[in-house]
Amino acid sequence: MGSKKRFRFNYRVRIFLPTALLIWATIAVGALYSYKREKDYRQETVLSDLMLITDRLIHMYEQDLDFAPFLEFVDQYYGKADLKGIKVTMLNPVTGEIMGSLGEPMSVDGDLERRDEFVAYYEGYSPGHEMKVMTALPFDVSVDSWFKLNSGYWLFMMMLAGGATLVVYFFAYHQARNVMLLRAFTEKAAHNDDSFELTEKFPNDELGDISRQIIEIYKSRQDAMAAHEREHRIALRATEEKIKIKRQLANNVGHELKTPVGIVRGYVDTLVSNPEMDIDSRQHFLRKTQQHVERLCSMLDDLSTLTRLDEGGGMITSREVDMNILLADITDEIDESGIGGDMTFIYDVPVHCVVCGSETLINAAIMNLVKNAVAYSKGTEMGVLFTGKTSSHYSFVFYDNGTGVAPEHLPRLFDRFYRIDTGRSRKTGGTGLGLPIVKSTFINMGGTITVRNREGGGLEFCFTMPVWKPKK
């Protein structure tokens, strides 16, 4: 059986009620204490007056003076005051004879037994005990109202209690607001509800600061978890993409190797099955076999280069490379080897254009672009031009003035084994890995490369290289 949910006052009420009750109790005790002190003071004042009257009458008895004028004065004086009805009795303590009185005479014994009816009572004797004086103030309506505190006092106490109650209420509201807001936040956080916004709802005090810091910590943790989740998803996608690329590469490698291997196998089978073949035919088949074996070797070399760049790009040793000197060496290499064919290679780079990278890899990348232009561009001119500089990178363009390519092929020129004209590419000995090697080379050295059709014809490979900054 499920337990019943126990009723519980909210936090504001739990703060307000005990504090308000404590203040009310304090004010009530203070008011009662003040009332008692005031009553005792007034009673002592009356008793002091009674003692003064008694002493005065005893003194007059000793001087043998008439009591009547003084008793008349006492009656008139207290008659004008709030204390009306003072009783004075003078008598012989032995015979009980009344020697004078104000108001109804008090008996020696009877009135003494009723002293609880008096506000104050006092008695005194003459030096020889020939006369006893009794003075008393009986309770009546006027005297009773004089001993009570006036309504203004109680009104003030009620206003004080009401003001204190309002102060306590606002204090409880202020303190409970932080807790209620923090509770609302924790309830939403427990249900992974991120709709709670960190605003200035919390009061500007220590508890509000703590509440805001708690929410900031929670938000930071949520942001960190979200960032971690995003990084995890990106890593998964990267892993999946890498697996996909490797699978595609394996399929492409198998497909690309299958043709030359099949051709080589066919030539070898032909040579083996025809031992009586004439020398010219045999030499023809051997030369074809050699060409396709060389193509296989080139493809394997390119695959090895791509693998090294993919797996060891971060281990490339970068040095200062003067692009003027490097391009001058490339020009000499093209002229001496005749690799440029009928195309002219030119370059225009500022003096002291020093980049950060590997001279060997930059040379190989540009030579790949040269071979690509010679093989496919059908142009007469190619070269490298300087196009700009930022605080961190130099910009260059490798161009040719050939025919260019159709726009739909541009996004895939850097894909591995991608060919625009498959048959013609194979005839020229291309492996389909030259441009992917170029892209990996510049990216692994901290640069970029893109390709576009050139105005007027041909292609432009726009690439950047980091500026060489000597270590201080």
pLDDT tens-digit profile of 423-472?
Answer: 444 444 455 677 888 888 888 888 999 999 999 899 999 999 999 988 76
Strand ranges for 80-197 from DSSP E: 87-91, 98-102, 118-125, 132-138
For residue 34, pLDDT beyond 70: yes
Lowest-confidence region among 86-90, 198-202, 405-409 = 198-202
Measured from the Cβ of residue 40, the count of other Cβ atoms closer than 10 Å reads: 10
Q: What does the radius of gyration of the chain's CA atoms come to, in whole angstroms? A: 58
Average pLDDT value over all residues in the chain: 78
Which of 117, 151, 153 has its CA nearest to residue 33?
153
CA atoms 443, 446, 450, 455: torsion sign: negative
- Block residue for tokens 């260019």: 404
Distances (CA, A) of 379 to 345, 384, 401: 11, 15, 5
Question: Phi-psi category of 205—alpha, beta or left, where left has phi over 0 and alpha has psi -120 to 50?
Answer: beta
Distance of alpha carbon 248 from alpha carbon 246, whole angstroms: 5
Per-residue confidence (pLDDT) for residue 110, from 0 to 100: 43
If one compares 111 and 365, the residue with the highest pLDDT of the two is: 365
Report which DSSP code applies to 60.
H
Specify the domain boundaries for CATH 1.10.287.130 within the chain: 225-315
For residue 32, pLDDT beyond 60: yes
Specify the domain boundaries for CATH 3.30.565.10 within the chain: 317-472
Residues 6+ apart with CB under 8 A from 266: none
- Tens digits of residue pLDDT in 200-218: 466 666 666 777 777 777 7
pLDDT cut 90: percent of the chain above it: 18
Per-residue confidence (pLDDT) for residue 266, from 0 to 100: 77
Per-residue confidence at 109, pLDDT binned at 50, 70, 90?
Answer: low
> 317-472 has which fold?
Heat Shock Protein 90 (3.30.565)
Which of 358, 406, 399 has its CA nearest to residue 382?
399
Which CATH number is 11-156 given? 3.30.450
For residue 8, pLDDT beyond 70: no
Specify the domain boundaries for CATH 3.30.450 within the chain: 11-156
Lowest-confidence region among 25-29, 168-172, 302-306, 431-435 = 302-306
For residue 314, pLDDT beyond 60: no
- Tens digits of residue pLDDT in 334-345: 888 888 889 999
List strands edge to edge, sheet with 98-102. Answer: 98-102, 87-91, 132-138, 118-125
Architecture of domain 225-315: Orthogonal Bundle (1.10)
